[in-house]
Structure 1
Amino acid sequence: MNTRVIRIDPLVPDAAALIPAAQALRRGEIVAFPTETVYGLGAVWRDPEAVREIFRVKGRPQDNPLIVHEASIGRMRQYFRSWDSVAECLASAFCPGPFTLIMEHKENIDSPVTAGLATIGVRIPAHPVAQMLIELCGEGLAAPSANLSGRPSPTSGADALEDLDGKVPYIIDAGPCEVGVESTIISWVDGKLELLRPGGISAEEILKALHSQGLNIPLITEDAGRAADHEPPRAPGMKYRHYAPQARVHILRGETKEAKLEQLSRSAAEGILGSRPAFYLSEAIREKAMWILEGQNVAAFELITFTTEQAHKAAAQGLFAAFRAFDRSGCSDIWAEEQSLQQLGAAYMNRLRKASAQQHESLRNDY
């Protein structure tokens, strides 16, 4: 298959340029497209063969449900068995945006997107190109991230092409994604509000929106985003090793800059950084980290930094791009700096833990 890249200005998207991709989707084909979080691999949600093609191309486990991307809250409501004040509050506050709502679906919904579950996840992307594509299709698009399963999510058209060249007819390239990590997933089922995946909307923002409407509902976060080996995942990102580069991923931990630098110095002295290490660090510790590495005669290493101002946001935005860049450089190990769990820091740390899950017996979800 010859993959055609459609380059489009995200600020002034040209509907005519998107028509071939929309037509392909309506024919039952799959297309990669940009969102504000990461690039998605889309199919018309009610076309079962097209949705199964997403699973096949990605190599995605069949029990891992997909998220439907819709154009409006009105269309979003049509998927769910009921719609109450909690759903209305959350949708009004965070849609369009990096927010996915999971609730029980209507009985007449029969699509592989649910992976056989009684629930379905729906979101409204904030990206103008995604919105225009959905409108041109006239249907919601089932869309996981546009990468091979387990690989880092793509945050640019070039990243999507790296994984999907020759596998899809169209990749719509609108440049880098603004958020850089996937949507926050909230489940509202049987009177329980659960954070199944941290993302572009923080737990603090969720609770603030609810409290502003007088809805004092507790948000369950502890262990909500984990699935036991014998249980099907209720949402993407819960069960399988995700977001992982080919290199081994390590977390450079510490509550202070000094503690992180101490771990780096100790690891360098013990010779455990790897044969060709890479580092994803804030500008705040860059200079001293370089001094430590050079002092320990770590000759061959790669370094990508993120800004100290709003470090949790900058770290999350650039993480997947850094993973892919390090892989292209042939790095053996990636050492990524820990961030606090505030705001986007929770999503950043969740992705780091998922990426490093292969090296650890257990995976804690401390968000």
Structure 2
Amino acid sequence: MKQTLCWSGADLNLIENQQKIHETIQSGHLVIFPTETVYGIGANALDPQASKRIYQAKGRPSDNPLIVHISNKEDVYQYVRFVSETAETLMAAFWPGPLTLIFEKNERIPLETTGGLSTVAIRLPSNPIARQVIDLAGVPIAAPSANISGKPSSTLFQHVFDDFNGRVDIIIDGGPSEIGLESTVIDMTSEIPTILRPGFITKKMIESALNMPIYDLSDTKPTGNVKSPGMKYTHYKPKGDVTILKGDIEAMRDYVRSHHLNHPNQTYAVICESEYVTLFDVPVRALGSVHDQKEMAHNLFAALRDMDLWAVDYIFIHHLSTDDLGYALMNRLEKAAGYQIIEL
């Protein structure tokens, strides 16, 4: 097992550490760093072997494309064939920030980075540590979420340390992720932009910026090659059996109580809004206030990871409102539950 260097964000001010970042990325090896969405596991996006190392470290299927991170908006033109006026508008409105745009790639981006596709997903993060790492690397960085494939994404240093200590060269601790959900992904390769993965930047926000309606295919379940991560494979799943319960919170309480009585030798937990914590007779992990979707997004993946720490057999999650950011929250929760939803 290799020795993993663990630094705080402040450690990047040291010249020797800056040089180490540059050498690590340039040599095709792996660095985990914070972004405003979740932690990313990064390598040189221009190096086919480096991208392969990401897939190997995560146990990620090789046809699941990686997102390329840049540190300046102008960099996008070095790696794509064409940037439309519509894409320019979205870049001006939401970059830097949690928005990924899909373009037709040029020859500089290898197929190993794009999952074999002729398109490339590119993002300009707003997190200053992420931007500094990309600048120090001197190349764009391919960086999917820093979690073992299929597990909940990482929003805390402890998450990435647990998954990758000894498997990567450097882990940078940037504290809790500000947003807690991966970026919104939009396909810009057709005339009308299409959301492939929902996130903090909502459909309403995008349509407002463009002054036009757009498509949303994020709730489809494709089986062939996909242009965006998060569309095809199992994601975000704790070890226990996860079920989403949709309906009145009192009906959910009664359902959980009945299930518990019928299976007394099993362990249980509930994930729900803070206002409902005291209603249940089993351990409860609060997401946040029903009135604060940003708080719930911030806590979502940590709540799912806590289920494994609690060694829970059955996990019941309250179905959230799908208004605004709630749509992205439910997108992640439905995947965590394998689309197992019970109407009460």
The TM-score normalised by the length of structure 2 is 0.92
Q: What is the DSSP-based 3-state SS (H/G/I as helix, E as strand, rest coil) of the residue aligned with 1:339?
A: coil
For residues 188 and 349 of structure 1, the distance between their equivalents in structure 2, rounded to whole angstroms, comes to: 24
CA distance 1:19–1:174, shift in 2 (3 Å): farther
How many corresponding residue pairs? Answer: 338
1:350 is matched with which residue?
Answer: 331
For residues 115 and 19 of structure 1, the distance between their equivalents in structure 2, rounded to whole angstroms, comes to: 30
CA contact (8 A) 1:70 1:122 kept: yes
Q: Deviations over 1:177-217 (max 9, x none)?
A: 00001000000122131110001211111111111xxxx2x
2:193 is matched with which residue?
Answer: 193
Deviation at 1:82, TM superposition (A): 1.0
2:288 is aligned with 1:307: yes
1:14 is matched with which residue?
Answer: 13
CA contact (8 A) 2:287 2:303 kept: no
Deviation at 1:309, TM superposition (A): 5.9
1:269 is matched with which residue?
Answer: 258
2:329 is aligned with 1:338: no
2:227 is matched with which residue?
Answer: 234
2:306 is matched with which residue?
Answer: 325
2:99 is aligned with 1:99: yes
Moved over 4 A (4+): none
1:278 to 264, 269, 280: 269
Q: What is the DSSP-based 3-state SS (H/G/I as helix, E as strand, rest coil) of the residue aligned with 2:113?
A: helix
1:244 is matched with which residue?
Answer: 237
Of residues 139-148 and 267-276 in structure 1, the stretch that sits farther from structure 2 once superposed is 267-276
CA distance 1:314–1:307, shift in 2 (3 Å): same
For residues 18 and 303 of structure 1, the distance between their equivalents in structure 2, rounded to whole angstroms, comes to: 43
Q: What is the DSSP-based 3-state SS (H/G/I as helix, E as strand, rest coil) of the residue aligned with 1:100?
A: strand
Deviation at 1:233, TM superposition (A): 1.6
For residues 332 and 153 of structure 2, the distance between their equivalents in structure 1, rounded to whole angstroms, comes to: 10
2:157 is matched with which residue?
Answer: 157
Q: Deviations over 1:273-313 (max 9, x none)?
A: 882111222122122x13xx2xxxxxxx4322133264322
Segments of structure 2 that go 5 or more residues without pairing to the other structure are none
RMSD of aligned alpha carbons: 2.0
Deviation at 1:108, TM superposition (A): 4.9
For residues 71 and 27 of structure 1, the distance between their equivalents in structure 2, rounded to whole angstroms, comes to: 20
Q: What is the DSSP-based 3-state SS (H/G/I as helix, E as strand, rest coil) of the residue aligned with 2:193?
A: strand
Q: Deviations over 1:111-157 (max 9, x none)?
A: 41111212110001111100001011111100001111001100011
2:210 is matched with which residue?
Answer: 210
CA contact (8 A) 1:13 1:128 kept: no
2:297 to 305, 316, 319: 316
For residues 332 and 358 of structure 1, the distance between their equivalents in structure 2, rounded to whole angstroms, comes to: 17
Q: Deviations over 1:59-103 (max 9, x none)?
A: 110110000000111002322211121011101111111100002
Deviation at 1:107, TM superposition (A): 4.4
CA distance 1:37–1:283, shift in 2 (3 Å): same
Q: What is the DSSP-based 3-state SS (H/G/I as helix, E as strand, rest coil) of the residue aligned with 1:357?
A: coil
CA contact (8 A) 1:312 1:340 kept: no
CA distance 1:132–1:310, shift in 2 (3 Å): farther
For residues 69 and 89 of structure 2, the distance between their equivalents in structure 1, rounded to whole angstroms, comes to: 19
For residues 186 and 134 of structure 1, the distance between their equivalents in structure 2, rounded to whole angstroms, comes to: 22
**Structure 1 letter corresponding to 2:309:** R
For residues 190 and 306 of structure 1, the distance between their equivalents in structure 2, rounded to whole angstroms, comes to: 37
For residues 90 and 54 of structure 1, the distance between their equivalents in structure 2, rounded to whole angstroms, comes to: 28
CA contact (8 A) 1:195 1:225 kept: no
**Structure 1 letter corresponding to 2:268:** P
CA contact (8 A) 1:261 1:285 kept: no
2:133 is matched with which residue?
Answer: 133
CA contact (8 A) 1:302 1:326 kept: no
CA contact (8 A) 2:274 2:290 kept: no
1:365 is matched with which residue?
Answer: none
For residues 249 and 269 of structure 1, the distance between their equivalents in structure 2, rounded to whole angstroms, comes to: 16
CA contact (8 A) 1:227 1:233 kept: no
Q: Percent identity?
A: 36
CA contact (8 A) 1:201 1:343 kept: no
Query: What are the within-5 Å matches in structure 2 for residues 58-69 of structure 1?
Result: 58-69=58-69
Q: What is the DSSP-based 3-state SS (H/G/I as helix, E as strand, rest coil) of the residue aligned with 1:307?
A: coil
For residues 23 and 283 of structure 2, the distance between their equivalents in structure 1, rounded to whole angstroms, comes to: 43
CA distance 1:354–1:237, shift in 2 (3 Å): same
Query: What are the within-5 Å matches in structure 2 for residues 13-32 of structure 1?
Result: 14=13, 16=15, 17-32=17-32
1:220 to 210, 215, 219: 215
CA contact (8 A) 1:156 1:177 kept: yes
2:37 is aligned with 1:37: yes
